[in-house]
Structure 1
Amino acid sequence: MNPSSRYAALTGQTVLITGASSGIGRATAVAAADAGARVLLAVRDRNRGAAVAQTLRGGLSEHAVVEVDLADLDSICRGAASVTEPVDILVNNAGVSSPTLQHTADGFEMQFGTNHLGHFAWTALLLPRVRSRIVTVASQAERASRLDLDDVNWARRAYNPARAYADSKMANLLFTFELARRLATANSPVTAFAAHPGLVTTAIYDRDPGTRPGVWDRLVPVLGQSPQAGALPVMLAATGELPAGSFTGPRHLFHMRGGAQVIRASKRARAAGVAQRLWDLSEDMTSIEIVV
């Protein structure tokens, strides 16, 4: 099913998507272009981004590539500065999953640093140009999180890659809900949403030969759905008539596959005090302030 066929037309709108060269990001880019949008593909590899843009409805004459590495604050600043046109919908989709402790260019634990801090900084820098919506791709993996704001870089604890990934997805939700609250308080025309794509067969689950597979690595080949199906909740968050701060996800198999609807986040993900602490920590770690 084409995700664009179920949701509102985007004719005349610009949609900026991180991680748009593969997986859910690429499927969302296809859906947005088919719905009439101009798509800005924010990717690490400009050539891969251009190749994908060429396959979209309208081709490279209609769409554009923005080069950015969300694991590098300098790259984020350069990439954001290169976006000079208004953006109607910002989709924070890119994400990493690492089986070992790795660090970003700025010394942050890779999953928290890329999935949350990278998008926090990216959103902060682009917010003055966003006109309508910010959609951050999160995950129900947040329910396995035990986020420790005193040790987000895993300097004191034995590294648990699955828990670190869940922590980054918890951070995505805490950030989204806090951003939605602040935007509403400021009477901003911009709203914030989160989307859970479900269990999707994408490259994020690829592992080096010899690496011991985790539980999700074993389940994905059996239960995983296509990136096109995973894009359905993202498109619902991007175009649906929803309350600000909504969290969307699949309808079936415990919200792991099939269709799209508004779903519930955990109570921890909606803890306003924790969200405020995370916001302050994120501004401190990135040295970038979000001005709503």
Structure 2
Amino acid sequence: MATIFITGSTDGLGRAAAQSLLDQGHRVVLHARSADRAAALGGLTSRAKGLVIGDLRSAAETRSIADQVNAIGRMDAVIHNAGVYTRPSRGATPEGHAETLAINTLAPFILTALIARPARLIYLSSGLHRGGEGSLDDLDWTKRAWNAATAYAESKLHVVALAYALARRWPNVLCNAVDPGWVRTKMGGAGAPVDIDTGQRTQTWLAVSEDPAALVSGRYWHHLEQQEPAREATDPRFQDRLIGKLSELTGIELPEV
């Protein structure tokens, strides 16, 4: 059985993935933004291998999350599930970054760099990432007028590009991105067309399956099928520029190999 860390596992797709993996007999490390949010996990906590707490909005707390995970032990897989949708304003994190960028892009980057390297990495994206091209000139929204939808699309493009970059850099790690679709969660709303079990299925399959179809890297998935992502996501030059800028913003270098 595998050990899997899932960010943002108190509700929605993260909780559904945790429940599915626990039901299959796997060991799951849960994540909550705060102690109050952890209380919402209820009985899942007693079934889990561990629980880490920290707000992905804060770089310092994100570093602490990595330390907590490493203290539990090496993960077989990490599902970067946590994210926010449209923020009404740019906001500002403790480090001064745009909140959407910090939670959706910087936090997965920091955790990827600092958590002991697992065998598999899965990043949750969105089909909306295709509207995020051209973001690197003002990654942190310090010059542009705020556009919540564009900021979200850009952040989801970033994690697809990160998955593809890591597939090149780290050939011994299976790195993939997943579009779960528009799912009936608190974020997606009651009118969303995709049920939560379908929404969580691809990422949990990629995290633990020994099916040869799942043992691939540098792919973009939607409902267990490979799709083509936005052009920029697959461009090594864009990937390298993105990683360089994320390193500048976080002060963390992503290992080359």
- The answer for the alignment partner of 2:108 in structure 1 is 119
Q: 1:67 aligns with which of 48, 53, 61?
A: 53
Q: Which is greater in Rg? A: 1
CA distance in 1, matches of 2:192, 2:57: 30
- The answer for the alignment partner of 1:246 in structure 2 is 219
Letter in 2 for 1:191: L
Maintained 8 Å contact 2:174/2:215: no
Q: 2:235 aligns with which of 249, 253, 271?
A: 271
Tell me the CA shift for residue 46 of structure 1: 2.9
What is the TM-score when the length of structure 2 is the normalising length? 0.90
Maintained 8 Å contact 1:50/1:60: no
* Identical-residue share of aligned pairs (%): 30
Aligned CA distance change for structure 1 residues 50 and 38 (closer, same or farther; 3 Å): farther
Per-residue CA distance 1:28-55 (angstroms, 9 max, x = gap): 0001111111111122123433542x43
Letter in 2 for 1:265: P
Tell me the CA shift for residue 95 of structure 1: 0.1
User: Matches of residues 103-252 of structure 1 in structure 2 within 5 Å?
Assistant: 103-126=92-115, 129-184=116-171, 188=172, 190-205=173-188, 221-240=190-209, 241-250=214-223
Per-residue CA distance 1:51-94 (angstroms, 9 max, x = gap): 42x433xx515432101211111101112112221111111100
Q: 1:34 aligns with which of 6, 23, 32?
A: 23
- The answer for the alignment partner of 1:94 in structure 2 is 82
Per-residue CA distance 1:142-193 (angstroms, 9 max, x = gap): 1111332121122221211101100000001111100111001xxx3x2211
Maintained 8 Å contact 2:165/2:240: yes
Maintained 8 Å contact 1:50/1:64: no
Q: 1:79 aligns with which of 61, 65, 73?
A: 65
Secondary structure of 1:104 counterpart: coil
The reply on whether 1:15 has 2:1 as its aligned counterpart is: no
C-alpha root-mean-square deviation of aligned residues, in Å?
A: 1.7
- The answer for the alignment partner of 1:4 in structure 2 is none
Maintained 8 Å contact 2:106/2:250: yes
Maintained 8 Å contact 1:104/1:110: yes
CA distance in 2, matches of 1:37, 1:244: 22
CA distance in 2, matches of 1:134, 1:268: 20
Secondary structure of 1:33 counterpart: helix
Maintained 8 Å contact 1:133/1:191: yes
**How many residue pairs were aligned?**
249
CA distance in 2, matches of 1:63, 1:26: 14
Maintained 8 Å contact 1:237/1:248: no
Per-residue CA distance 1:96-123 (angstroms, 9 max, x = gap): 1213221222111111121011110011
Aligned CA distance change for structure 1 residues 99 and 204 (closer, same or farther; 3 Å): farther
CA distance in 2, matches of 1:102, 1:175: 24
Letter in 1 for 2:205: L
The reply on whether 1:286 has 2:218 as its aligned counterpart is: no
Maintained 8 Å contact 2:126/2:178: yes
What is the TM-score when the length of structure 1 is the normalising length? 0.80
Maintained 8 Å contact 1:237/1:246: no
Which sections of structure 1, spanning at least 5 residues, go unmatched?
1-10, 206-219, 251-259
